[in-house]
Structure 1
């Protein structure tokens, strides 16, 4: 019985790239839906339609796949989104809970992956730094990095309450309404003067000196 002819090297590379992409997409969706611990190598491979041994060949481990899912999704959003649209893009992607196999789910994966090993922690820190750099110039102030961190903390808090804790009414709130309220308030964060504390401005709320 004759054996099947070997695939040309270019075709083998194309097949390998397609398999790798399917594993990344399957891992992204399952990590976002169920979290790292509840997602198994077997379920990832089944959703990708490949043998689970290929996950280890291309990523080394489930942890390695998670790290690449986070890096790929976060960096793609940074590359494709202007800084002034970045916060809203991340917020909407989380609020709309993208359908399986489509859209960006980096924030959902991020929220369910905090604390997952040194390798992933390093990727999370790097992504956080890149997002901070992108957002810190929006205010045009010297304390831009602080404002960027505050915006990111709010974004992650909203994501945690909506997708992980599933607290009502936020869990089922209309995405457009959430964006309207959050982005309106965020505009004040970017526009606030650098020195606006009541103690310095003399506005209502100034601390009263005791006699």
Structure 2
């Protein structure tokens, strides 16, 4: 095998220096995000996460209490930045309907640009886990769902939504539709297939759910 050229060596050294600048907590978050997205939650061991992060399993336990706590924090970190962007767009939207469509476009854009987060969220979020059949829901997602509820109420109040459907049904339909269609796009990219619909099509479907 040929030795790495100068530019490759510089890039590798730079990556190692960057990793050393991060503390063990940040490295564990990055390693967990990568391994969960590549291998899935169940197939990823705490030892592999610690090894990838260049630290120990005891540090993982110290900061997150275990693998489940690490996954929860990965979700929360992702949702914090996403919810901040969403809130700024919601404020600028003239109606509840426009705000919902802006939220959808933000989600689609964010997941397209960060497929690791998208894979974890869409394939690992809210799955039944363990012998007690627990369903994990992150605080970030709960805040997002509360925001969708508020936007539905806003749209019903300003007349930009149809009023003949229950609020809870609209929230469930909107979140489920957006997640399902973005998930199918992601699956198509992973398998090398071409998705039969675009981001514009997703917007049109959600718009139809809202009443045309």
TM range (shorter): 0.5 to 0.7
Q: Which residue of 1 aligns with 2:177?
A: 154
Match of 2:72 in 1: 67
| 2:205 paired residue number | 185
Q: Between Structure 1 and Structure 2, which shows a larger proportion of helix residues?
A: 2
Residue 74 of structure 2 is aligned to residue 53 of structure 1: no
Contact conserved, 1:162 with 1:171, CA < 8 A, in 2? no
Structure 2 distance, partners of 1:86, 1:62, is 30
* Equivalent residue, structure 2, for 1:11: none
Q: Give yes or no for contact 2:36–2:120 (8 Å, CA) kept in 1.
A: yes
- Give 1:144 shift: 4.2
Q: CA RMSD in A?
A: 3.4
Q: Deviations over 1:87-125 (max 9, x none)?
A: 222223334554x6xxxx1x421333212357973434x
Q: Is the 8 A contact 1:78 1:131 kept in 2?
A: yes
> What is the distance in 2 between the residues matched to 1:187 and 1:30?
36
Residues 1-211 of structure 1: matches in 2 within 5 Å?
18-81=23-86, 82-83=89-90, 84=99, 85-98=102-115, 105=117, 107-113=118-124, 114-117=127-130, 121-124=135-138, 126-136=139-149, 137=151, 140-141=155-156, 143-163=166-186, 166=187, 172-173=193-194, 178-192=198-212
User: CA contact under 8 A between 1:42 and 1:52: conserved in structure 2?
Assistant: yes
Deviations along 1:57-106, one digit per CA (max 9) or x if unpaired, are 111111111121122212331123234332222223334554x6xxxx1x
Offset, 1:145:
4.0
Aligned length: 168
Contact 1:161 1:170 in 2 (8 A): no
Distance in 2 between the 1:95 and 1:172 partners? 16
Where in structure 2 are there 5+ consecutive unaligned residues?
Answer: 1-19, 91-98, 157-162
Flag the structure with larger Rg: 1
Q: Would you say the 8 A contact 1:111–1:156 is kept in 2?
A: yes
Task: Give the conservation status (yes or no) of the 8 Å contact 2:24–2:55.
Answer: yes
Normalised to the residue count of structure 1, the TM-score between the two structures is 0.63
In structure 2, distance between residues paired with 1:72 and 1:97: 13
